[in-house]
Amino acid sequence: MRARPARVLPGFSLSLGVTLLFVSLILLLPMTSLIGQLSSLSWSQYWAAITDPRLIASYRVTIGAALAASLFNALFGLLMAWVLARYTFPGKRILDALMDLPFALPTAVAGITLATLYSRNGAVGSLLEPLGIEVAYTWLGIALAMAFTSVPFVVRTVQPVLEDLPAQADEAALTLGASNIYAFRRVILPHIWPAVVTGTGLSFARSLGEFGAVIFIAGNMPYRTEVVSLMMATRLEEYDYAGAAAIASLVMLVSLLLLLAINLWQGRFYRRLHGGRH
């Protein structure tokens, strides 16, 4: 028998084996079948499928709205995380729990609720209408639905990092004469920056694929308020599986690259922060 170098931590083969099995079943298998669907297309067909003008309009709508939503979430999520991490007040636990609601709520419920609230005679929409602001069935509504469903990403990535920052770092900056803004910019922000970027990136990636919440409030007008995921659903309804797969492959590629970039960047940042030790 060949001697193997012994591992001190037990269970490596078992845990990695189970993990890889599950990754294969729930991730790789569907992805392979998706690529299998693509094999029925020639390159020119594939190109045509992903550059359909109506589809390109939907790219623009989706990316624009997702950008707006994730930027809004970066600000609002940061504020929310700040409030939850820095202060104690009655009802804090309830607020903390509420932050996860967008994840727990079926997205369709969120979409219908938002559409009802923000439609022209809805509770909020009726207040906005005199101001000339229309939310439901516009680009703004799409961004709103995306922001709602993805805000926990920012809160939940920033909050622990903020709690981890010792209050003494803040106090040190103040004893050295720094203004609140200066202390925030040079001491707190650099510390939480990677978490904010990660959270925002995740929020953006999630928004790109959001379907349930968006379709109810989007109005789904071709060239104006159609999102990419809706285009996929439309293709499927037309039994154009290859076309749907073509769009899906593109969305997947973009999301994958985005997540990879975030991970690499974050790894570099933390290596710097911990002086070579991870």
Partner 1 sequence: MSITVSDVSRRFGSTTALQPLSLEIKNGEMVGLLGPSGSGKTTLLRIIAGLEMPDSGSIHFGERDVTHVHVRKRRVGFVFQHYALFRHMSVFENVAFGLRARPAGERPSNAEIRDRVQHLLERVRLDTLAKRLPAQLSGGQQQRVALARALAVEPEVLLLDEPFGALDARVRLELRRWLRHLHEEFNFTSVFVTHDQEEALELSDRVVVMSNGKIEQIDTPQSLYRAPANRFVFSFLGETNRFGGEYHNGRLQQGEAWIALETSDSAADEVLLRPHELMLTTAPDARAHLPVTVDAVSPVGSDVRVELTAEWMDTPWLASITHHDFDRLQPQRGSDFYLIPSRYHRFAPDSA
Chain residues binding partner 1 by CB under 8 A are: 166, 168-169, 171-179, 182-183, 186-187, 190-191, 272-277
C-beta closer to partner 1: residue 132 or 177: 177
Q: How far is the CB of 173 from partner 1 (least distance, A)?
A: 7
**Least distance from partner 1 to the Cβ atom of residue 92, Å:** 17
CB nearer to partner 1: pick between 121 and 175:
175
Residue 18 vs 172, nearer CB to partner 1: 172
Choice between 91 and 275, CB closer to partner 1 = 275
Kindly state the helix (H) or strand (E) to which residue 278 belongs, with its residue range.
none
Two structure tokens written together for 220: 């789904």
**CA nearest to 145, candidates 172, 173, 171, 117:** 117
Residues 6+ apart with CB under 8 A from 89: none
Q: How many CB atoms lie within 10 A of CB 166?
A: 10
Which tokens go with 125?
């929409």
* CA distance linking residue 248 with residue 223, whole number of Å: 19
15 or 179: CB nearest partner 1: 179
Backbone angles phi, psi at 32, to 5 degrees: -65, -45
Shortest Cβ 172–partner 1 spacing (Å): 4
Q: What is the DSSP string of 202-253?
A: HHHHHHHH--HHHHHHH---TTTS--HHHHHHHHHHTT-HHHHHHHHHHHHH
Taking the complex as a whole, the smallest distance from the CB of residue 94 to partner 1 amounts, in Å, to 23
Minimum CB–partner distance for residue 171 and partner 1 (Å): 6
- How open is the CA angle 47-233-255, to the nearest 5 degrees? 60
Quote the least distance from Cβ 170 to partner 1, whole Å.
9
- Give min distance, CB of 197 to partner 1, in A: 14
What three-state secondary structure class fits 96?
Answer: helix
Sign of the CA dihedral running 29, 31, 34, 36: negative
User: Shortest Cβ distance from residue 201 to partner 1 (Å)?
Assistant: 20
Q: Which of residues 120 and 185 has its CB atom nearest to partner 1 in the complex?
A: 185
Nearer to partner 1, 6 or 181 (CB): 181
Token pair 């995306």 in the structure block, residue = 146
Kindly state the DSSP code that residue 130 receives in the 8-state scheme: G
Residue 30 or residue 160: which is nearer to partner 1 going by CB?
160
